[in-house]
Structure 1
Amino acid sequence: MTTIGFIYPDHAAEDDYPLAEQLLGGSDGDIGLPVAHIYGTDLHAVPELLDLGSEARLAEGARLLAKHQPEAVVWACTSGSFVYGWDGARNQADQLAKVAGVPASSTSFAFVNAAKALGVKRVAVAASYPDDVARLFVDFLAAGGVEVLSMSSADIDTAAEVGQLAPEAVVDLAVSHDHPDADAVLVPDTAMRTLGEITAIEEKLGKPVLTANQVTVWEGLRLTGTTRLVRSLGALFRTRG
């Protein structure tokens, strides 16, 4: 079995991970995606996000995952990684890898790597965050070579509120904030349940959508050299990239 550990902040949309495990493993059950929770404030504000993604908190997450003997670990939080900037997020992932003793990454790098795998260069961002936080994601993408043609911010203050969004609201957020020249739409919040809505979003858009929990799972598979083709998880999971 391939086991990939995820460090998830507080509680909101972590049920996307057992859903992904079911979709990826199928009847064979050969992929395990255990989730460990770390706790802090769930406010989408820079000081709180810097605390949430601190070395000490992620080390605690790695410790909780150790019993599962993961082959890779991913910090399943977009804002708690891109808030550090490109170099800071790289150091964050490197320190996590050192503590966990296995390859590590974060959702922010997952977005960049997923975009590259699909050949996506220009995107629209449909963010749930307040504007100042969303703009830091735009900066992070630019540092990774992804051009943002348009960015919207829903100005939702907490992850708990994002986790309460109805499925139709998630679909509308992505579809209504597309840009005609964008290669894909990015939805960057692991607090948002998206895996069950990806097919509907892509059908309406006529182009790929990359969502936080989707790319986070994909990044874990990438780190372990594992490939799964799953039609229900969007264009990203229909390519061997």
Structure 2
Amino acid sequence: MRPPTTVGIIYPGHAAEDEYAAAAGPLGVRLPVAHVYGTDLHAVPELLDLGAPQRLAGGAAALAAHRPQSVMWACTSGSFVFGHDGARQQVTELARVTGVPTSSTSIAFVAALAALGVTRVAVAASYPDDVAACFVEYLASAGVEVVATGSAGILSAAEVGLLRPAEVRDLATAHDHPDAAALLVPDTAMRTLSVLPELEAQLGKPVLTANQVTIWQGLRLAGATPSRPDLGTLFTRRQDHAPQ
């Protein structure tokens, strides 16, 4: 019997990492999590430090015993603050350490949009305005038009992790836009998987969230594309395997 597909998750601090364990069983895969630590402030200097090569290398080393087929840096802000080219360089350097296909949540968002054929989006961000603006710039550099952006102004990942499902739904729906073909919710500290079906049904469009796209991209890089309608439109459309 073939062992289950294993995607290693490098996760910053503690907030919503339980979403990976919750998704792994229904998907029939393994999503082991290795934690890396720095400040959890949503501020550009701190985020640049959080995504530093030596920190991520430590997370990769902690995952090695699990023998993952791919590895994901499960942090949106700790990747997009480096800009488009910097985010690519970040995972290129990390891949040299992991020895397997490696990506990040920011890159996963762009890959997911390409897989769905979407180029116009709205963003419902938990971050302060300046950090949310960095995400918009990152998307623009990847050819994605952001027609509306909302920022909740939450200063730390720990605070985001305390949001209740109803608060997550309200944040998402408040910042959708009729001209957007998809809504993006970019924070791996936010628990979103349980509300995805309801959000997509209410908005009538794909909703892409940070932990969702991280899992999808990791499985894709590992050569697995399971179908799980409860994880949103992204997990119902069969996609070709592709490099990061």
Shared fold (TM-score greater than 0.5)?
yes
Deviation of 1:131 after TM superposition, in Å, equals: 0.3
Aligned to 1:42: 40
Q: In structure 1, what residue type is equivalent to 2:96? A: K
- In structure 2, what is the Cα distance between the partners aligned to 1:21 and 1:146? 30
- In structure 1, what is the Cα distance between the partners aligned to 2:19 and 2:5? 18
1:144 paired residue among 142, 155, 159: 142
- In structure 1, what is the Cα distance between the partners aligned to 2:219 and 2:139? 21
1:11 aligns with 2:14: yes
Q: Which moved more, 1:6-15 or 1:219-228?
A: 219-228
- In structure 1, what is the Cα distance between the partners aligned to 2:18 and 2:197? 18
Aligned to 1:28: none
- 3-state SS, counterpart of residue 236 of structure 1: helix
Aligned to 1:225: 223
Aligned to 2:102: 104
Runs of 4+ in 1 over 3 A off after TM superposition: none
Once the two structures are superposed, the pairs formed by residues 35-74 of structure 1 within 5 Å of their partners are 35-74=33-72
- In structure 1, what is the Cα distance between the partners aligned to 2:173 and 2:26? 24
Deviation of 1:176 after TM superposition, in Å, equals: 1.3
Aligned to 1:189: 187
- In structure 1, what is the Cα distance between the partners aligned to 2:157 and 2:193? 17
- In structure 1, what is the Cα distance between the partners aligned to 2:90 and 2:84? 10
- In structure 2, what is the Cα distance between the partners aligned to 1:135 and 1:240? 32
Task: Compute the TM-score of the two structures, normalised by the length of structure 2.
Answer: 0.96
- In structure 1, what is the Cα distance between the partners aligned to 2:154 and 2:81? 17
Cα RMSD after superposing both structures: 0.6
- In structure 2, what is the Cα distance between the partners aligned to 1:71 and 1:225? 9
Q: Structure 2 unaligned segments of length 5 or more: list them.
A: 240-244
Q: In structure 2, what residue type is equivalent to 1:86? A: H
Q: Deviations over 1:138-194 (max 9, x none)?
A: 011111111100011000000000000010000111111110010000000000000
Q: Deviations over 1:31-80 (max 9, x none)?
A: 11100000110000001000000000000000000010111100000000
- In structure 2, what is the Cα distance between the partners aligned to 1:208 and 1:175? 12
2:206 paired residue among 197, 208, 214: 208
- 3-state SS, counterpart of residue 190 of structure 2: coil
Q: In structure 1, what residue type is equivalent to 2:124? A: A
Aligned to 1:23: 26
- Aligned length, in residue pairs: 236
Q: Structure 1 unaligned segments of length 5 or more: list them.
A: 26-30
- 3-state SS, counterpart of residue 193 of structure 2: coil
Identity of aligned residues (%): 66
Q: In structure 1, what residue type is equivalent to 2:92? A: D
- In structure 2, what is the Cα distance between the partners aligned to 1:112 and 1:105? 11
Aligned to 2:133: 135
Once the two structures are superposed, the pairs formed by residues 112-123 of structure 1 within 5 Å of their partners are 112-123=110-121
Q: In structure 1, what residue type is equivalent to 2:77? A: S
